[in-house]
Amino acid sequence: MSLSQFSLNEQLNNLKQQNLYRSRRIIDSPQNTEIIIDGKKNLNFCSNDYLGLANHPQVIAAFKQAVDKYGVGSGSAHLICGHSTAHHALEEELAAFTQRDRALLFSTGYMANLGVISALVGKGDSVLEDRLNHASLLDGGLLSGTTFKRYLHGDDENLALKLKTCTGKTLIVSDGVFSMDGDLAPLPQLIEIADKNQAGLMIDDAHGFGVLGNKGGGVCEYYQVNQNAMPILVGTFGKSFGTAGAFVAGSEELIETLIQKARTFIYTTALPAAIAQATRASLELVIKENWRREKLTALIKQFRNGAKQLNLNLMDSTTPIQPLLIGDSQQVVRLSQNLFQQGFLVSAIRPPTVPQGKARLRVTFSANHQTKDVDLLLSALEKATFKSKGVYDVP
């Protein structure tokens, strides 16, 4: 069978010409603030391992012990024979952590978001999503068969306006912390609008869990809202928890509905029990070691103060996601490459991940970073922007 009809080479060449071509770097070390690429050490400022738990000895030990007990593969879906005592214990602990009736594990965050939306709404219903939501949320809305609409980012007035034309059951969907901007959803306003319009509200707090709140409870702890006010809560383990997988937390009725109807839960193999056991260890660290969040706050403040002195165009964020807005895709690629040559890994984020004209360096911080690392990054950014003068013009 020939693929010539799909014009793959033409599509790839177009991506290269637009500076939108993506390439993988091969890492030959554990995930940490210092990683090895092609035999060279790099300071890593693009990981979502915000609390520095991906290579934590306690998490590693829990994983190894669980492999000895459960093996590697889970063997089947949760509803067949893949649901172990480790999975079940993690679900119970997540329910307590989020202060919700129950929690349900999914193999990935993408699958959790697609599964929840498709299980709750369908043809004749409506889904409203923030324009800057993660791709998994947007795809969940698009694939649900509903009337799908996007409202202006963080704009509760625009959301309220679009709600007037909705039909059937209506679900409002938003990130808790936006992955490319680092800002927070206006949760109190979303709750008020959802309640006024008798709409459901779903928050994907992938980048908030572990980072926000005194115990890392995310946007719900930050805003002090409970299950009744915010009924559908999604989280992932591949960021602050340092492992892999995802979960949904909510009422007894919600979780039972997902077990019966969420196709991405029903028809996929359960994540390995060893991952669940490792996540239990990381959850304990997330809750108990508040110093990690305190250190992150200090590092972010240090970076923002230094960036201000350099007149860098940082976006408004108080989270470990600190985007440096560049604008042009070619410019941001050149800056990222310059930093890499200096020994710093900072991702160039381009469309379609972000809107046209909003290309950026996505700088992220981990509790494992040191103050000297931040100083080194600021110095490298100063050199990179100086060398690229005429390419990157500070507004």
69 is known as an active-site residue: no
Q: Of 78, 207, 295, 369, which residue is the catalytic one?
A: 207
Burial class (CB in 10 A: 0-12, 13-18, 19+), 372: exposed
Distance CA 222, CA 180 (A): 20
107 is known as an active-site residue: no
Q: From residue 1, give the alpha-carbon distance in Å to each of 4, 5, 6, 118.
A: 9, 10, 12, 34
The β-bridge partners of 126 are: 147, 170
Q: Of 83, 239, 358, 369, which residue is the catalytic one?
A: 239
Q: Of 47, 136, 144, 179, which residue is the catalytic one?
A: 179
Distance CA 300, CA 75 (A): 42
Distance CA 58, CA 137 (A): 32
239 is known as an active-site residue: yes
Give Cβ neighbours of residue 298 (< 8 Å, ≥ 6 apart). Answer: 371
- The H or E element that residue 170 is part of is strand 170-175
* Strand order from edge to edge, sheet including 232-236: 102-106, 246-250, 232-236, 200-204, 170-175, 126-130, 147-151
Show which residues are catalytic. Answer: 179, 207, 239
